């Protein structure tokens, strides 16, 4: 076989095989507000913020962090893997939010508010303390100071 035929067949085989390489699945933000960092570290500068249901493209994935870009490409950086899901979240229907973060969390556990009520009554369980704890919050600045002072996850890298 001539060299030209071999080169031609090689190029064709390469083109055909590249057509079968799957594009990575899009991922979606599964938390109310996701802070995108410039590095895979809780202490890194903020590159931007994404919201629940926002679609992202994962360009690389590590043990704890994923390098992402927003759908419009305006925000690029790192998000904790726990902030992402491959499941598409339907958030807005006719301009109204279809679920809130608490409902989404319950749904992820196989519970909704009605089921939680029935379950807690049947088992004499109160979620009042859990609900109270969920209202606690601190600023990002205070959280980072706490982590640094306690030498927790030094540097924040994987």
User: Rounded CA gap, 66 and 110, in Å?
Assistant: 27
Q: Which CATH superfamily is domain 23-97 in?
A: SH3 Domains (2.30.30.40)
Query: Which of 55-69, 95-109, 111-125, 129-143 has the least mean pLDDT?
Result: 95-109
pTM over 0.85: no
Q: Where in the chain is CATH 2.30.30.40?
A: 23-97
- Looking up tokens 């998000």 gives 79
CA distance 9 to 7: 6
- DSSP state at residue 37: E
Name the residue among 133, 29, 39, 37 with its Cα closest to residue 82. Answer: 29
Q: How far apart are CA 79 and CA 64, in angstroms?
A: 9
Task: Let me know: does 65 contact 79? Beta carbons within 8 Å.
Answer: yes
Concatenated DSSP letters of 42-86: TTSPEEEEEETT-EEEEEEE-SSEEEEEETTSS-EEEEEGGGEES
pLDDT tens digits for range 21-42: 556 788 999 888 899 999 998 8
Choose the weakest-confidence range: 7-16, 46-55, 130-139, 146-155.
7-16
74-119 residue pLDDT tens: 999 999 998 898 887 665 555 555 555 566 565 555 566 677 777 7
Quick one: pLDDT at residue 134? Answer: 76
Predicted confidence at residue 48, as pLDDT, reads: 95
Report the chain's C-alpha Rg in angstroms. Answer: 22
**Mean pLDDT value across the chain:** 77
- Residues 14 and 24: beta-carbon distance below 8 Å: no
Q: How far apart are CA 70 and CA 27, in angstroms?
A: 10
């Amino acid at each position: 076989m001539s060299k030209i035929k071999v080169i031609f067949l090689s190029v064709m085989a390469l083109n055909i095989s590249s057509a079968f390489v799957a594009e990575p699945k899009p991922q979606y933000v599964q938390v109310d507000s996701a802070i995108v960092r410039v590095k895979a570290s809780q202490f890194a500068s903020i590159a931007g913020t994404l919201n629940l249901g926002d679609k992202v493209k994962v360009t690389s994935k590590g043990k704890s962090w994923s390098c992402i870009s927003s759908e419009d490409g305006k925000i690029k950086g790192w998000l904790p893997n726990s902030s992402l899901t491959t499941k598409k979240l339907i958030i807005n229907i006719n301009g109204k939010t279809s679920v809130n973060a608490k409902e989404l969390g319950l749904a992820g556990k196989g519970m909704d508010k009605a089921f939680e009520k029935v379950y807690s009554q049947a088992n004499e369980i109160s979620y009042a303390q859990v609900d109270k704890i969920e209202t606690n919050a601190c600023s990002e600045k205070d959280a980072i100071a706490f982590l640094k002072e306690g030498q927790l996850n030094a540097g924040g890298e994987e």
